């Protein structure tokens, strides 16, 4: 029943509303990854972006002014990963909080022998709370999706997709026909390769942050999948194939 109502409501929104054409055209122009899309893909992206803006709340913070072009840009970047999936993949959260620039997060550290809890401040471009909002830095959103190997929006929303099964471990719920063993072999092999190269002191192609844990490795690879797909396919072809099967997209062919 709820699924039918949601489908009806979304169809009604798409029948009655459109993103202002000038804003949509400028969004497509400003972000390189959108240049690669076909006309049919751009139409799907438009509809998903519109629905995202109707169902999610984009909240300015830290003095941020969040006008309509900014909201459309964030939503479009967020919807590119689910272009051939469905907006339901982003269920479980409503808010996207946007700061004007990198923001500071205080994290709890270990308690020392004297019982003192030590904390440190982390400066972040983005953060995805497992059961809460996605938090983004607008200055980093502007730098995302230009084919330079950086896409904070894809990265943080990848964490949301990873968490759909309740665990941020680098393995989102796989589609029918996909094998956990094949996914694990591909990602573990690439993760181990990166770790070894870093241990050997190499200047790696992939951001060293990917070696933090499997969840971060997945999110960084998703960034590359949409931003530098040809490079990802060349360096880690098995990872690229798994991501292509999961997202149902082949960006390297674009």
Residues 114-150 have pLDDT tens digits of 555 545 445 455 566 677 799 999 999 999 999 999 9
**Residue 132 and residue 92 in contact, taking contact as beta carbons nearer than 8 Å:** no
Residues 194-209 have pLDDT tens digits of 999 999 999 999 999 9
Residues 159-213 have pLDDT tens digits of 999 999 988 999 999 999 999 999 999 999 999 999 999 999 999 999 999 999 9
* Statement: 12-167 belongs to CATH 1.10.472.150: yes
**Residue 103 and residue 121 in contact, taking contact as beta carbons nearer than 8 Å:** no
Q: How many angstroms separate the CA atoms of 111 and 122, rounded?
A: 18
The CA radius of gyration of the chain, in Å to the nearest whole number, is 19
**Residue 137 and residue 103 in contact, taking contact as beta carbons nearer than 8 Å:** yes
Distances in whole angstroms, Cα of residue 236 to Cα of each of 25, 80, 103, 186, 225: 34, 21, 32, 8, 10
CATH of segment(s) 169-254: 3.40.390.10
Residues 9-50 have pLDDT tens digits of 989 999 899 999 999 999 999 999 999 999 999 999 999 999
Q: Where are the domains of the chain?
A: 12-167, 169-254
């Amino acid at each position: 029943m709820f699924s039918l109502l949601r489908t009806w409501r979304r169809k009604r929104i798409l029948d009655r509303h459109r993103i202002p054409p000038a804003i949509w055209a400028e969004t497509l122009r400003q972000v390189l990854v959108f240049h690669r899309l076909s006309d049919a893909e751009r139409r799907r992206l438009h509809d998903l972006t519109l629905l995202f803006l109707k169902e999610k709340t984009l909240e300015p913070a830290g003095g941020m002014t969040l006008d309509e072009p900014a909201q459309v840009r964030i939503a479009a970047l967020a919807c590119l990963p689910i272009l051939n999936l469905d907006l339901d993949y982003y269920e479980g959260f409503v808010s996207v909080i946007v700061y004007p620039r990198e923001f500071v997060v205080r994290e709890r550290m270990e308690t020392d022998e004297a019982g003192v809890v030590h904390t440190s401040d982390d400066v972040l471009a983005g953060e995805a709370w497992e059961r809460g909002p996605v938090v983004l830095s607008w200055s980093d959103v502007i730098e995302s999706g230009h084919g330079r190997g950086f896409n904070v929006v894809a990265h943080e929303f990848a964490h949301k997709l990873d968490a759909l099964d309740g665990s941020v471990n680098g393995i989102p719920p796989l589609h029918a026909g996909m094998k956990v063993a094949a996914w694990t072999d591909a990602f573990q092999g690439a993760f181990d390769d990166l770790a070894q190269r870093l241990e050997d002191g190499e200047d790696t192609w992939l951001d060293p942050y990917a070696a933090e844990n499997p969840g971060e490795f997945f999110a960084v690879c998703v960034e590359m999948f949409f931003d530098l797909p040809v490079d990802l396919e060349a360096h880690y072809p098995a990872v690229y194939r798994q991501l292509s099967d999961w997202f149902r997209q082949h960006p390297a062919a674009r």
